[in-house]
Amino acid sequence: MLNDRHILLTGAARGLGAEIARGLAAQGARLILADVAEDEGRATAAEVGAAFLPVDLGDPAAIAALGAAVAERTGGGLHGLVNNGAIATGIGGIGFEDIDIDTWDLVQRVNVRGTWLMTRACAPMLRASGSGRVVNVASDTALWGAPNLLSYTASKGAVMAMTRSLARELGPDRVGVTAVAPGILTTESTEYVPEARHRLYSEGRAVPGPQGPGEITDVIAFLLSEGALALTGQVLPVNNGFVFK
């Protein structure tokens, strides 16, 4: 499905990102992985036969440098960007009145501004490919209003809104922009989540039980394909039916 399509995946070092990398590699994608965690990122890249480039999504200069390096590696044509990199751990479990302002700003800087700047850096290459696709990894917490997680849910709500606007701005160039909104997945990034929240998802899904990260990778692979343009602007809850939209 993705044979010979150049795909850039951020946040690829571990957890969901590493699982997405494995899934896309199995579909034949020519992957470039990026992450701030360089050692783990290089290990994942070696596992799936991909290139690795470092990036700090909180640093505009680092994002611009990554874009330039990707352009050099791909000859200026990029078929897909998966904006998966984000701060997701260590920021929940407290009420909105107790969130530290610096933490709030950091989450928005990486999750929201980083997604915008990464898309901006890749846009010329996505246009040049003739069939560019952007998949933003959001979260269904912003769809059902998860409590005690406001900095994160706000950031992922912003990612959904950007998805819709970017779809209209890039659509005339036949670049499709979509978002996936998973629920709690069985990854290391959700180990800190209280058992009651895990149980809420397991028991509330239309398909009951836990959901592994591998269960959403085929959806992401399809959204990166040439045939997915008709879905541009859509936010897809990939949560086994916990939230219907």
Cα 210 to Cα 216: distance, rounded to the nearest angstrom: 13
| Chain mean position to CA 175 | 17
Phi and psi of 240, rounded to 5°? 55, 30
Which pLDDT score is estimated for 210? 78
Which pLDDT score is estimated for 187? 66
User: Does the pLDDT of residue 209 top 90, yes or no?
Assistant: no
Which pLDDT score is estimated for 28? 97
Residues 6+ apart with CB under 8 A from 56: 36, 62, 63
Round the average pLDDT of the chain to a whole number and report it: 93
Which of 43-47, 130-134, 212-216 bottoms out in mean pLDDT, i.e. has the lowest?
212-216
pLDDT, one tens digit per residue, over 13-32 is 999 999 999 999 999 999 99
Instruction: Name the pairing type of β-strands 133-137 and 80-83.
Output: parallel
**Own/partner pairs for 57-61, CB < 8 Å, 24+ apart?**
57/10, 57/11, 57/85, 57/86, 57/110, 57/114, 57/115, 57/117, 57/118, 58/106, 58/109, 58/110, 58/113, 58/114, 60/113, 60/117
The DSSP 8-state label assigned to residue 93 in this structure reads: S
Catalytic residue among 111, 122, 152, 181: 152
pLDDT, one tens digit per residue, over 47-69 is 999 999 999 999 999 999 999 99
Which pLDDT score is estimated for 205? 81
Strand partners, 134: 81, 177
Which pLDDT score is estimated for 207? 80
Which pLDDT score is estimated for 148? 94
152 counts as catalytic:
yes
pLDDT, one tens digit per residue, over 91-122 is 989 999 999 999 999 999 999 999 999 999 99
Average pLDDT, integer, range 127-134: 98
Could you tell me if 2 and 225 are in contact, meaning their C-beta atoms sit under 8 angstroms apart? yes
Could you tell me if 55 and 33 are in contact, meaning their C-beta atoms sit under 8 angstroms apart? no
Q: Domains, the chain, ranges and CATH?
A: 6-236 (3.40.50.720)
What does the angle CA 11 – CA 223 – CA 192 come to, to the nearest 5 degrees?
A: 35
pLDDT, one tens digit per residue, over 170-199 is 999 999 999 999 987 766 666 666 666 668
Tally Cβ neighbours within 10 Å of residue 2.
23
Phi and psi of 5, rounded to 5°? -90, 125
